[in-house]
Chain A
Amino acid sequence: MRRNLISHPICPHCWHKFRPEEVLWISNHPDLRGDPLLSQDDQRRFLPSRFNPSGEALDERGSRCQKIACPNCHLPIPMVLLETRAKIFSIVGAPASGKSYIITCASWRMRQSMPTKFGLVFSDADPLNNTVVNSNEERLFLRENKDEYVHIEKTEMQGRQYNSVQFDPGLVTLLPHPFLFTMAPTEAHPNGSAGARLRQVLCLYDNAGEHFLPGADSAIAPGTQHLAKSRVVMFVFDPTQDVSLRALMSKESADPQLRTGERTTRQGIVLNEMIGRIRSHTGMGAGEKVEQPLIVVVSKSDAWKDLIPDEDMQSEPYVPGPRDGILVADQTRITRVSDKVKAMLTRMVPEFVSAADSAFQRVVYIPVSALGCAPSVDPATGLLRVKPSQIKPWWIDVPFIYAFARWSRVLVGKYQTPSLPLEALSLEDSEPGGSLGN
């Protein structure tokens, strides 16, 4: 088997850039337990000097090893990352803005729709790292009893969604689990003949909202430093937490999150904190605009859809492409909706919109609803929860599809204006300077 190694892979755990020959292997012999950076349960990492003819490293005891690890943090990374650079989509938002629900519903939706609608395989690149998102998908979508109330646990700042690494004695750093998905064209795809070359790895993080609050970025919890490495930044704006919007929405919606006395958050502060971190970790000047596109994911659109009554935010914005059976993103419609959402936010939260426009070169506003319905309050426990049978996500995968269509057309095509012919898919990224790269 031939491997086309990339020059400088990035660790999805600690975002360390390294050369392929620096990668560590994870020993396999049971005697070689205990890694100095990890726990006594972890197999020791080592830089091999011996390989068998299959290219597998041999550890000190001669056992064949198949798994590799980052030379910096020693956490395991999938072998595919030596050949394909992960595209990090950073998802940011205040606590309780719905990030976990969006990631869960979007991954579930993309597993379903990518093969049938876009001719793409969307699968786990590393099932071990995706355990949490897979578990959440099962909670929401794979229940036998669809009428039994379910909920996703509040995202922790510690625990099983994080790996602890002891870079220095006594100093334990918590690094978030990355969710890694592989996207590759199938034979039905217009670029299906170049499937392996066009394979891409999508990397997402489900940070706790507390991580994005001012002061939460520290040496022991550097969980949001993926912002500096991300290709796309998605900011989840929750209108139900904004005081101005709540006043409008509460007249139209019975969503329990809009009840009087519920908590509100100044999400502009979270946005500014995020911008500050991106500048800090990338070394940008104060006047420079961030090159990565910002997608403002305006969540819980089922609760505020009446604020933009002339737009359909429920049906998918995809249209048939030049090849039979393959859809492309309707960029015209998405852009139109984006403009209207922006106009609405400009009226209600102008400081948020101006902060986004002044910091980012490109900003798009996409309304989504992860559940497609309002949650209800469990009288017994007081928790917000939902019945699986009621979950009908709105536009939940659109931010991801749109990002790939606009900034990396090799996988998803786009439909721009009715007057122009449909664009064929290209093997090259579009929009110079704004591509997602390979």
Chain B
Amino acid sequence: MAIELHYTSAPRGLAPGSSGFCTVAASRGFPAALISRLESLTGYRIPDGLAEAPPAFSHWIIDLQGVERHVLAAIRSSDPDHTRRSNKHAHFVVLKPEELADEGAAWMMMQNGTMADCWVGEPTLIESERSVPRSLGRGASACQTWERCAGDAGWAGVLAGNVLRDPSRPTAVIYPMGTPVLALIDEALSILPARSRWRVTFTTFFMQPVAGLRCSWRFCLEGSEAAHAAQRSAQVIDLCARHPLTRTGEVIEAAREGRVFVPHETEAAQFESQPMVSAPIELEPEHPNHHSDHGGGKAGPTGGASSLGARRDRDRDSEPQGIQSKRGFFIIVASLALILGLLAVYSFRQRDAGATVKPSANGVAVEGGEGNSSGASDEGTTSSLAEAKRETNRLEREVEVLNARLKSAESGLQAAQSAQSELAPMQGQVTQLQAQLAEAQSQVQRLTGETESARAALEAATKAQESTNGQGGDHQVIVRWESTPISLPRFANGQYQPGKAQRLAKGVSVKTSVADLRSLDVMVNGMRVMAFGEAIGSCSSDGTDLMWTWSLDQLTSGCIDKLKKGGVEGEAGWKALAGIIRFDVARGDGTAVSVRMGNMTECTLRHDSSETIQIGLPLANVVVSDGDLSPSITAAGNTHRSELKVDGDPAGSVSFILSEGGKFLKVEFQPPQADPAKAAKARIQVQRQVVHSMQSDIAILRAALILEQRANGAGGSGGSGSGAGGSSGGGGGGSGGAGGGNGGSNDVDTGSPLRQTLDAAVVGILEQRFKPSDLAEWQAQPNTRQAILGRLGGELEQEFKTASQELTTLEKRPVLPAVPQSELSPAARQALRGFDATVTTSNGVPLVRVRGSAQ
């Protein structure tokens, strides 16, 4: 039984000393923490300019001490309170998991007696728990209320589809006064599977978001502040505008046809992964129409499909064979269920003879025994009859569903039998395949050897590539020579204007603080040590080592000043020595950093594009600029030489300006590149080996597939043939063997040498190229190896095509020659003294590539 709470303005409340708006009644034992939480949800106000407001019916899921509670709420205006001022009444019903009716929260609240509309009397503890309606097993029906209010029942499907696609993203529905909102929600919920209905939170009169509470469906009254705010959100259904529905999709069709939409497994899993109480809700039976329209995604008037519907259709096209192979089992289960259902129906109809159903005054169907001699006074008999009637109704619906499933299964069986008969003439082809197998047998040994040699060549080529790169992948710095001072648009002639940058800095802070450091991104050896906006922690000096830990509010700039050398430890437990002595950050301009870092020998700085650069600077001042470069120029005025090593990929953006003797160098970053000619050749070599390796593996998989086909009698039963056919149809460029041969049938046996050799080779390929789950599946399920080989072979063939195209492209690619440094202008050579650089030209502009280490 459910517990409940009443909240209104009264002279006296349940809590001692309370008055005015307060809790006036609650079930005995109502959790105190839940009372305060529910009281915070009682906000209700008539929008300005309106004389009245609709009641707010809501379904909330509240996390209370780790347990999710389903709460039904009804808040509405009530008679003036004892001070003759406006009043409201809020009624909350907290449900237990077993009380969640399949029909959903809206249906429960629509039943008479579920939600109270006022409280009269003294404050009291309610001793009896509240009775809530039980499920009647109602199925989905056409969304007629939506059709009447929105012009198209499909809008209910839009609403349902939105919540299935992303439960965390709310949908707002703007409605005019007088709209039967609860009925709209009930219809929209009815097209969802039963297990999903209680995951949808909603309110019929949304006013404002509440922290920590999700509201998936927000029904906003036209003209209210919430409706104005909703107009700006992305997912809005405006019932006042009655826009025509141009989207299509299966869930929309389900809403129009009045059937339950069964989402795809991945969508359902995503939707159901939202935290909530695990309730023993029965799975909604699949609608019989669901399978009948397989592959028949309906196109809407616009010719397009909704993203949800389109995704479902794509998924069906590539339906795995495992599903089809389960049809036989499904037929048996369906038949048994049908028989049991018919027996149950027959039994209950016999028991139920004479009982009639009449509507009560409040519209809820009640059972009576008018024809029974014991009369209505026999409550026990009436109750059991009512129970039996409900059970009968439920079973009748189940029988209908099972009938539909049986028909579907029978049609599937006929299709399978038809396919089997079609396979009979293919026996001749099987014989031919046996001959091909013999040829493949002779090739396998040779291909295996070739594979090994190809892999060895690939490893060698990879090593060659790394050695060609010289610095093992380090980024390089491009120094572009500028003969004149750089002209900055905001600061003419590159002159630093004191005060302007100062003001920028003063806007918020000129000092480094704990808060600054919290927002710092620090990358060390390519790993993010500190995340943006997260706390980093304290530093404690232990001799010469610094340890960074993940605690709060301990790190100060004063502490940093004492540091000599740092180590970095991340949350995941990894540790990396970074050689950091100090780090700092500039907000707006780099002047402050430059001043603070006057004596530094090594540092880590945050880059403009959120990348982080590790810099070792023996003698230089380096500043980071963000839009305003002039302070950087000033601050770097005494720079003599630099060594720059980039960690990350700043993508060539302007990062530093170094000056030397009144001349200016613009420094850009570029990802690591080897000598272009050598790198291109190495790349081609590597790609060629990759392609060759793929060819070998495809051949092995094909040979193994042929063997499996023979072992399974040319395709097996049911739909398993489609997978094999799909892979063999991949075709193209492989060296897998066709041709005659005389492979004996004994080669098919698992113990044959050929089989063993192929199996070992396949295992090697699966280990190297595919997911561990594929290998595990291949090893664990010998009966499905043919399908697995077909699928994986197809995937590898696709990769092979891509790699082949890339190789072709590489081989046609022009290679730029290197330019000797001696060809550079005297001025440029002067500027680059001390750098270990090679030079290229591009469009007449000398580009100097500086390696990662200075001379």
User: Contacts A51-B588, A166-B212 given: A160-B37 contact, CB under 8 Å?
Assistant: no
Per the 8 Å Cβ criterion, residues 32-55 of B in contact with A are 36-37, 39-46, 48
Asked if A107 is an interface residue, CB under 8 A from chain B, the answer is: no
Majority SS at the chain A contact face: loop
Q: Which residues of A contact B48 (CB under 8 A)?
A: 135, 138-139
A324 to chain B, nearest CB (A): 40
User: Contacts A23-B508, A55-B503, A263-B83 given: A46-B18 contact, CB under 8 Å?
Assistant: no
Q: Do A172 and B45 touch (CB < 8 A)?
A: no
The stretch of A225-233, A354-362, A380-388 that contacts the partner chain: A380-388
User: Contacts A53-B628, A153-B45, A160-B45 given: A21-B508 contact, CB under 8 Å?
Assistant: yes
Q: Do A159 and B20 touch (CB < 8 A)?
A: no
Q: Do B504 and A159 touch (CB < 8 A)?
A: no
Q: Which residues of A contact B81 (CB under 8 A)?
A: 154
Q: Which residues of B contact A210 (CB under 8 A)?
A: 18-22
Asked if B764 is an interface residue, CB under 8 A from chain A, the answer is: no
Q: Which residues of A contact B64 (CB under 8 A)?
A: 170
| Complex Cα–Cα for A288 and B511 (A) | 39
| Complex Cα–Cα for A418 and B516 (A) | 58
Q: Which residues of B contact A23 (CB under 8 A)?
A: 508
Q: How large is the interface on B (under 10, 10 to 19, 20 to 34, 35 or more residues)?
A: 35 or more
| Complex Cα–Cα for A334 and B584 (A) | 59
Q: Do A51 and B504 touch (CB < 8 A)?
A: yes
B32 to chain A, nearest CB (A): 11
Q: Which residues of A contact B532 (CB under 8 A)?
A: 60
Q: Do B40 and A164 touch (CB < 8 A)?
A: yes
Most buried by B among A159, A256, A384: A159
| Complex Cα–Cα for A41 and B509 (A) | 29
Q: Do A52 and B627 touch (CB < 8 A)?
A: yes
Contact of B519 among A46, A160, A166 (CB under 8 A): A46
Q: Which residues of A contact B814 (CB under 8 A)?
A: none
Q: Which residues of B contact A377 (CB under 8 A)?
A: 84
Per the 8 Å Cβ criterion, residues 31-57 of A in contact with B are 37-42, 46-53, 55, 57
| Complex Cα–Cα for A92 and B628 (A) | 52
Asked if A317 is an interface residue, CB under 8 A from chain B, the answer is: no
Q: Which residues of B contact A174 (CB under 8 A)?
A: 40
| Complex Cα–Cα for A184 and B208 (A) | 33
Asked if A157 is an interface residue, CB under 8 A from chain B, the answer is: yes
Q: Which residues of A contact B511 (CB under 8 A)?
A: 21
B630 to chain A, nearest CB (A): 11
The stretch of A194-202, A212-220, A276-284 that contacts the partner chain: A212-220
Q: Which residues of A contact B628 (CB under 8 A)?
A: 53
Mark interface residues in B498-518 (1 if CB within 8 Å of A CB, else 0): 001001101111010101101
Per the 8 Å Cβ criterion, residues 126-175 of A in contact with B are 135, 138-139, 151, 153-154, 156-160, 162, 164-166, 169-170, 172, 174
Question: Which A residue sits closest to B209, measured CB to CB?
Answer: A39
Most buried by B among A48, A151, A153, A169: A153
Q: Do A38 and B606 touch (CB < 8 A)?
A: no
| Complex Cα–Cα for A181 and B170 (A) | 35
Question: Which A residue sits closest to B79, measured CB to CB?
Answer: A382
Asked if A183 is an interface residue, CB under 8 A from chain B, the answer is: no
Q: Do B587 and A170 touch (CB < 8 A)?
A: no
Most buried by A among B81, B207, B511: B81
Mark interface residues in B197-227 (1 if CB within 8 Å of A CB, else 0): 0000000000111111110000000000100
Asked if A251 is an interface residue, CB under 8 A from chain B, the answer is: no
Contact of A209 among B20, B45, B490 (CB under 8 A): B20
Q: Do B212 and A382 touch (CB < 8 A)?
A: no
Q: Do B20 and A22 touch (CB < 8 A)?
A: no
Contact of B19 among A38, A95, A154, A170 (CB under 8 A): A95
Q: Do B587 and A48 touch (CB < 8 A)?
A: yes
| Complex Cα–Cα for A215 and B45 (A) | 25
Asked if A222 is an interface residue, CB under 8 A from chain B, the answer is: no
A131 to chain B, nearest CB (A): 8
Asked if A208 is an interface residue, CB under 8 A from chain B, the answer is: yes
Q: Do A46 and B533 touch (CB < 8 A)?
A: yes
Contact of A154 among B83, B503, B516 (CB under 8 A): B83
Most buried by B among A50, A52, A60, A135: A50
Q: Which residues of A contact B225 (CB under 8 A)?
A: 160
Question: Which B residue sits closest to A377, measured CB to CB?
Answer: B84
Q: Which residues of B contact A165 (CB under 8 A)?
A: 211
Q: Do A48 and B519 touch (CB < 8 A)?
A: yes
| Complex Cα–Cα for A84 and B716 (A) | 83
User: Contacts A23-B508, A40-B170 given: A160-B22 contact, CB under 8 Å?
Assistant: no
Q: Do B210 and A172 touch (CB < 8 A)?
A: yes
B392 to chain A, nearest CB (A): 44
User: Contacts A138-B48, A170-B65 given: A21-B509 contact, CB under 8 Å?
Assistant: yes
| Complex Cα–Cα for A159 and B225 (A) | 13
Q: Do B86 and A208 touch (CB < 8 A)?
A: no
Contact of A38 among B9, B44, B211, B507 (CB under 8 A): B211
Q: Do A215 and B18 touch (CB < 8 A)?
A: yes
Question: Which A residue sits closest to B585, measured CB to CB?
Answer: A49
Q: Do B519 and A47 touch (CB < 8 A)?
A: yes
Per the 8 Å Cβ criterion, residues 585-628 of B in contact with A are 585, 587-588, 606, 608, 610, 626-628
Q: Do B19 and A158 touch (CB < 8 A)?
A: no
Q: Which residues of A contact B87 (CB under 8 A)?
A: 154
Q: Do B36 and A51 touch (CB < 8 A)?
A: no
Q: Do A96 and B85 touch (CB < 8 A)?
A: yes
A256 to chain B, nearest CB (A): 8
Chain A to chain B contacts (Cβ below 8 Å), 8 pairs: A21-B508, A51-B588, A53-B500, A95-B83, A164-B212, A210-B18, A215-B17, A220-B36
Question: Which B residues have a C-beta under 8 Å from some C-beta of A?
Answer: 9, 11, 15-22, 36-37, 39-46, 48, 63-65, 79-87, 168, 170, 207-214, 225, 490, 500, 503-504, 506-509, 511, 513, 515-516, 518-520, 532-533, 585, 587-588, 606, 608, 610, 626-628
What are the 6 A-B residue pairs with the smallest beta carbon separation, nearest first? A159-B43, A21-B509, A39-B209, A210-B20, A96-B83, A154-B85
Question: Which A residues have a C-beta under 8 Å from some C-beta of B?
Answer: 2-3, 5, 19-23, 37-42, 46-53, 55, 57, 60, 71, 95-96, 135, 138-139, 151, 153-154, 156-160, 162, 164-166, 169-170, 172, 174, 208-210, 213-216, 218, 220-221, 256-257, 263, 377, 381-384
